[in-house]
Amino acid sequence: MPGIAAPRGTRDLLPAAVPAWEWLHDVHARVTGSFGYQLVDTPIFEHAELIERGVGTGTDVVDKETYTFTDRGGRLITLRPEGTAGVLRAVLTANLVQEIRPVRVRYAGPMFRYDRPQAGRFRQFAQVGVECIGERSPHLDAEVMEMGWRFIAALGVSGVALQVNSLGDLDDRQRYRAALIAYYEPLQDQLCDDCRVRLHVNPLRLLDCKRDQRFVAAAPVITDSLSPESRAYFDTVLDDLRAAAIPFEPNPRLVRGLDYYMHTSFEFWHESLKGAQNALGGGGRYDGLAEVLGYPATPGIGYAMGTERLLIAASDAGSAPGAEPACDAVVAAVEPPQAQAAAAAARTLRAAGVRAVLDVSDRKIDRKLRFADRLGARVCVLIGPDEVAEQGATVRDMGNRQQQRVPLTRLAAAVAEALANQEVTPA
Ligand code: HAM
C-alpha cells in the first residue's frame, strides 16, 4: 500500500527551510516593530458569516475558495482565507480602540483557500500582515505602504513595483459601478458565465476575471469616478510616498480580490513571480468593514504578504539563509556500555551552552564520525572504555581531524576551544 500523501496544495516546512522561515518572521517583527506594531494572534477558524460578510459574497474567495464545514455543535465554520476580518473582530471585541487609536498590530500564520495549486499558489499558505485600526488618515495609508516596502527591502528583495490605486468611497463606487455596467452590458453575450452573473451583483469583479481580460483595457477607470474629496485624499497619500522616497506606480485598474476596500488599495508586484501569482502582497483601506461585521464604524488599513512567495523571491536574490547544522557537537559512546557516561558528557556540554547530540547507536566508530559529519557537527566527543576508566573524554576537531584526551572537568572548555578555532570569520 502506498503511503498516504499530503493533501494537494499543501507543503511541509522541513528543517532545512526553517532558518529562512524564521528569518523572514524576525525581519517582519523588526521592521514593523520599528513602526510600533505589536503581535496579535487570532484563531485559524471563524464563524463562516464573518468571512462571508467581511470578504464579500460575489468574490472568488468566498464563492469558490473557502473551506467551510459544520462542526460537531452544528456551527458553520470557515478556515480563514485571510487575516483582516479576524484581526478586526479581535481588536473590536477586546475594545482596544477605546484606549489607543489607532491600534497597530501585526500577525503571521496560515490561511486557507481552495485555489488551483501551482508555483507560488497553495491551498494552505502563510501570510505576514499588519492592520492599523481606528483612524482614517491618508498619512497612515502611506505609513502602511512604506512599512511594506521597507520590509521587502530588508529581505534583500529588489525589482518590486508598488501598484497603487484609489477605489474611492461608497458614492464613488456607486458611480463607478454604473459606469462599468453601462460599458459591459452591450458585451454581455461575450462574457463568461461567471461574469454575466457578476455584472449586476459585483461588476468590479469583472476587472480581475482571468477569462474576460480582453475587455478590461477599454473599460472605464475608477479614477474618473472619484469625488474631489476622494481625489484630494489620494493625492495626499501619493505625496507622502514621494516624501518618503518610496517609488510607486499609479494603477487605475487595480481592484484587488476582496470586497472590503475603499480609498487606497495597493499591491507589491515582483518580476520573478509570473502572471496571476506576481503579487508578493497587497492591502488597502477598509473603513466600511467594521459596520458590515456588526460593530461600530471603525476605519482601518493594512497589508498582507504571502510568506512562501516572499521566500521564493528572497532565495532567488540569495538573501535567505540556508540550512543550519542541527548541533555543534556529537557525543558518541564507542560501545553500548558507555551510553550513560556519554549521556552525562552531553549533559555537561548542554549546560555550557553547546548544542550536543548523543550517539548511542551500535555503529562502528568510523560510521559514528560520518554521522557527526552529516549532522554538521564541528566537534565529536568519543567516550570509550578507556575514557570511562580515566574519567575523561576524547575531543575530536571535525575540521582538522586532530583529537586530544581531556579530563571530564575540562571537557566543556576543550569543546568550546575547538568550536572557537573553527568560527568562520564573516567576509
Ligand atoms: P490578498 O491579496 O488576498 O490580501 O493576499 C495577500 C497575499 O497573500 C497575496 O499577495 C499573496 O502573496 C498571498 N496569497 C494569497 N493567496 C495565496 C495562495 N493561494 N497561495 C500563496 N499565497 C497566496 C489579503 O489577504 C488581505 N487580507 C490583505 C489586507 C490586509 N488588506 C488589508 N489588510
Closest CA to ligand 1's atom 31: 283
Count of other CB atoms within 10 angstroms of residue 367: 13
The atom of ligand 1 lying closest to the CA of 85 is 27
CA of 283 to the centre of ligand 1 (A): 8
What is the average per-residue pLDDT within 379-393?
Answer: 98
User: Over the stretch 332-342, which tens digit does the pLDDT of each residue have?
Assistant: 999 999 999 99
* Confidence check: pLDDT of 58 > 80: no
Q: Tell me the C-alpha to C-alpha distance, in Å, between residue 232 and each of 133, 177, 179, 247.
A: 22, 21, 22, 20
pLDDT confidence tier of residue 276, bands split at 50, 70 and 90 = low
* Confidence check: pLDDT of 426 > 60: no
- Residue ranges of E strands in 134-257: 160-166, 249-250
Say what the pTM is. Answer: 0.93
Tell me which of 191-205, 277-291, 310-324 is least confident. Answer: 191-205
Structure-model confidence comparison of residues 67 and 277, the more confident one:
67
Beta strand 38-39 pairing with 103-112: parallel
Greatest distance between any 2 Cα atoms in the chain: 94
* Confidence check: pLDDT of 3 > 70: yes
Residue the block writes with cell 555543534: 328
pLDDT confidence tier of residue 274, bands split at 50, 70 and 90 = low
User: In terms of C-beta density within 10 A (0-12 exposed, 13-18 middle, 19 or more buried), how is residue 137 classed?
Assistant: middle
* Confidence check: pLDDT of 42 > 90: yes
- Residue ranges of E strands in 168-255: 249-250
The atom of ligand 1 lying closest to the CA of 256 is 2
The atom of ligand 1 lying closest to the CA of 61 is 3
Q: How many helices (H) and strands (E) does the chain have?
A: 15, 16
* Rounded distance between C-alpha atoms, residue 136 and residue 133, angstroms: 9
The atom of ligand 1 lying closest to the CA of 65 is 19
Tell me which of 79-93, 272-286, 290-304 is least confident. Answer: 272-286
The per-residue pLDDT for 194 is 87
As for ligand 1, residues whose beta carbon falls within 6 Å of it are: 82-84, 113, 115, 121-122, 125, 127, 129, 131, 257-258, 279-284, 286, 302-306, 308-309
* Confidence check: pLDDT of 167 > 80: yes
The per-residue pLDDT for 424 is 58
The per-residue pLDDT for 346 is 98
* Confidence check: pLDDT of 315 > 70: yes
Count of other CB atoms within 10 angstroms of residue 258: 24
Average pLDDT, the chain: 94
Percent of the chain with pLDDT over 90: 85
CA of 296 to the centre of ligand 1 (A): 26
CA of 32 to the centre of ligand 1 (A): 18
- 345 with 331: CB under 8 angstroms? yes
Percent of the chain with pLDDT over 70: 98
- 268 with 313: CB under 8 angstroms? no
* Confidence check: pLDDT of 425 > 60: no
pLDDT confidence tier of residue 204, bands split at 50, 70 and 90 = confident
Per the DSSP assignment, residues forming a β-bridge with 356 are: 329
CA of 375 to the centre of ligand 1 (A): 37
* Confidence check: pLDDT of 173 > 70: yes
The per-residue pLDDT for 275 is 59
Q: Tell me the C-alpha to C-alpha distance, in Å, between residue 5 and each of 11, 87, 116, 415.
A: 11, 33, 18, 43
With the most atoms of ligand 1 within 8 angstroms of its CB, the residue from 125, 141, 312 to mutate is 125
- Residue ranges of E strands in 8-95: 38-39, 45-47, 67-70, 76-79
The gap from C-alpha 118 to its chain's centroid, in whole angstroms, comes to 18
